[in-house]
A and B are shown apart, each in its own frame.
Chain A
Amino acid sequence: MSQSPACPRIGVYVCHCGMNIAKQVAVEAVTEFAARLPGVAVARHYKFMCSDPGQELIQQDIKESGLERVVVASCSPLLHEATFRKACAAGGLNPFCFQMANIREQVAWVTADKGRATSKAKALIAAAVERVSRAQPLERKRLAVGDKVVIVGGGIAGIHAALTIADAGKKVYLVEREPTIGGHMAKFDKTFPTLDCAACILTPKMSSVKNHPNIELMSYSEVEKVEGFAGNFKITIQKKPRYVHEELCVGCGECVDACVFPKAKFPSEFDEGLALRKPVYMPFPQATPAVVVIDPNTCLQLTKGKCKQKCVEACQRGAIDLKQEPEQVEVEAAAVIVATGFKTFDPRGLPQYGYGRYGNVYTSLEVERMVNASGPTGGEVVLKDGAKPRSVAIIHCVGSRDKKTHPWCSRVCCMYSLKLAHLVKERSGADVFSFYIDMRTPGKGYEEFYDRLLEEGVHFIRGRVSHITDWAMTKAEEGKLVVSAEDSLIGVTRRIPVDMVILSVGLEPQPDAQEVRKKFNISCSQEGWFLERHPKLAPVATFTDGVWIAGACQGPKDIPDTVAQAGAAASEALALIDKGYVEIEPNTAEVDPEACSGCKTCLGMCPYHAIRRDEEKGVAVVNEALCKGCGTCVAACPSGAISQHMFTDDEIYQELEGILSYV
């Protein structure tokens, strides 16, 4: 059977996706329909087209039936377009002679009625067949990639990723918005379940970052702009003025002693407001870089313009510069790792728990500082009046597992609550009451740790606390905080009077997650957690090539999981660098010099400055390396001289024809 070149031989493959598609779409009927479409030489359905046997079907048909075009009707191209293009290529067909029809996300998962789902699947397949008949074989361009990586966020995720990449001999820019790296982990005393000291395992890594020849640490800095693409990003970073020349400061602290404020007066961010600091301060003794910072919101010179500037006088190295301006730095990077972490839930949103109303209601993060040997109380657990508590309640799930706050489980709170229960008991000898909904301890050695706490005599009460008050009903309750909850194991409501309450606050996305995601062109769940490319199989990749995510910015997770992700992101970034090139989708625009009038309309329209005018010939020319295939110039050209590969008018009209002819 001979085919004219205008009507190539097309193969159509309808995937069941197990039951995902097959339970909503009558795949056999759809296949029969496809077989009768013009140009279709082969039409088949198969349980899993993405599996090896599925792909082999395509390859075999290309060879044996002489297919010139292929359509797979299955899932979203985001998931498997690359898979099927490779299968086509393996069969000897140009990978761009392939078209995908998404009958899973766009049909089976969203169309409730089976009949309508089947019709819709047919329409989409008709469209794909029409479109692919006009597809042209195209070649991918290869571009060399750089060998530097920008890592955003200097918590344990960013630190671990930076060291991994730097140890592999590649240059890293580690950008941290706070004056020091270390993130949340630097605030902790011990880590669960091993109770090893957080500082002992973190601070060596922090100083390795500082001293590593391949790492350029940019603290107190934020990424402002990201341009370019995988392998060739151009990133603008703003260094916020810390009013101290980092390279001159040795962190001796003379300026802090000299500051006109005789006493520390402002709440320390690092100590969660439990301790005070001066306007010029070092966040904590192991801060990295070990450089002071001046807070522009409290420094007299910077707020009122009037101060004796004793700090400037005191610094023998002349490091203090109260006129410092923000500085912009532009760096090139092959890859970006976003590891911007999380924020803890603010329990003021739950007034029934009395945070901010009763002095002895603390957040878990505040207590982390309190139990820290180098914290504001030297590791002692004390009440506001300085006394040791005799009884302490720990409330789980504050801001977690609650539709009114956050529906998700924050994953780390059960374990850190257990850890705090242990530490509070150890430091104060207090009776500890732990109010939980479910005890979630899935991790290596975690359940064993829970067992240990049971042995230690912590009182575990299963029930969500309804309110915490100073509402004393009996003598024993006078002067205490009364925690009310239903004990759902024995079926009674209980009122437990305690001296201190610890709210185990949940994890939530950073408040500026949406802005950050836009900067890096990655996706976010509705709540603000950054979205991975695939929840199981690509947990650290994003939908933007060359950008990876790691740690709690992707969702709540503990230190081991965070470090595992950071390692994964680092090795995927290294793989890109090692490969040495990226392939560019050939969806670029092309100017037909015969039709171009040289009017320059397109030059101003192109957001990527990818078009220039060839002055000799008087026509526009597209630089394929810069063109992103957005199509703006195609639409703008008054003489219709520009077309876009993979999106030619012919292909689009034909696709419409396919859908409409079916309807």
Chain B
Amino acid sequence: MRFLYYPGCSLKSSGRAYEESLLAVFARLQFPLEELPEWNCCGATAYMGIDEKKAFVLAARNLALAEQHGDGQPVHLVAPCAACYLVLLKTQKYMVEYKPIGRAISDALKSVGLKYRGQVKIRHPLDVLIKEVGLERIRAAVSRPLEGMKIACYYGCQVVRPFAEFDDPHDPMSMDDLLRACGAETVDWPCKVRCCGAMLTGTVEEVGQRRSYMILHEAMRRGVDAVATACPLCQFNLECFQGPMSRRYRDQVEMSVAYFTQIVGKAMGLDERTLGMHRLFIPLRQPPALLGTSHDC
């Protein structure tokens, strides 16, 4: 089985810390992820909203390339960004279930000499870590257990629904299980799959920010050290508007928001720079006992 890695645009730009920490963690687990060569935009957001067909075709090209790359062997395409993950899953599903869409995609791929047979398995890193690597191996790789660290796992709206099947769409537990295996405490809270405001933070600001604020407010109420995310846009929305939020809602909003892979990497003793910790605007808050335990490996 081959595991190809599809970064998408975010993990090469605003979400670089996600890529850095993800690859570092997988490398530590000796689970190689090979970047899909020649990949292109996944077709998310604006495309999907304006011209669905173009979005499908863009996503399908990546799938076709991945399938080709497998040379007849089963291929898993790991998409860490929630939006990429969703669009790839949606394309896969619609190609099969809606014949006219399937035909349109096939025609478009044909014009560039590509063909997609639907053989690629689209996976989220959470899914791969739990189901392929397994908690046993992860526990074994933990050298600096996150004792005393309290985390709110925030999956966002797209990772577990509507198409994903690896976790419960209303009450997912995979990230909780993972971070608990790393020694952290995770809280049971009602915001795991609530909307972060997504694109609205840039368009209808008040509506978007309110979504993010509601989540952060609840995380603060639960007294956590950090919110762990699995999506570059969620991370951005939750971390970058805390100042404006504080003013707008007359509250003192302050909360670390890190990629779950950064936190896992920390438990594995990986160094701060490798995990892209320096890219966080708000440093990851850790209980005093854990401070200073991280050193270069």
Contact = CB atoms under 8 A, between A and B. Distances in A.
B170 A351 contact: yes
B69 interface: no
A357 interface: yes
A357 B170 contact: no
Nearest to A471: B190
A350 B170 CA distance: 8
Interface string B162-203: 000000101100000000000000001111000000000000
Contact of B170 (A352, A470, A471): A352
Contacts of A575: none
Nearest to A353: B170
B170 A469 contact: no
Q: How large is the interface on B (under 10, 10 to 19, 20 to 34, 35 or more residues)?
A: 10 to 19
A467 to B, nearest CB: 7
A473 B215 CA distance: 10
Contact of B191 (A352, A357, A471): A471
B194 to A, nearest CB: 9
Nearest to A473: B214
A76 to B, nearest CB: 33
A473 B217 contact: yes
A472 interface: yes
A470 B168 CA distance: 20
A352 B214 CA distance: 18
Contacts of B171: 351-352
Contacts of A350: 170
A496 to B, nearest CB: 15
Interface centre among B171, B189, B191 (most CB of A within 10 A): B171
Interface in A140-168: none
B221 interface: yes
A351 B218 CA distance: 19
A614 B191 CA distance: 80
Contacts of A471: 189-191, 214, 218
Contacts of B170: 350-352, 467
Contacts of B189: 471
Contacts of A467: 170, 190
A351 B172 CA distance: 10
B190 A469 contact: yes
Contacts of B190: 467, 469-471
Contacts of B191: 471
Nearest to A472: B221
Interface string A349-367: 0111000010000000000
A349 to B, nearest CB: 10
Interface in A458-479: 467, 469-473
Interface in B209-235: 214, 217-218, 221
A572 B190 CA distance: 54
Contacts of A470: 190
Nearest to B189: A471
A157 B155 CA distance: 48
Interface of B: 168, 170-171, 188-191, 214, 217-218, 221
14 contacts: A350-B170, A351-B168, A351-B170, A351-B171, A357-B188, A467-B170, A467-B190, A470-B190, A471-B189, A471-B191, A471-B214, A471-B218, A472-B221, A473-B214
Interface of A: 350-352, 357, 467, 469-473
Given A471-B218, A473-B214, 5 more contacts: A351-B170, A357-B188, A467-B190, A471-B191, A472-B221
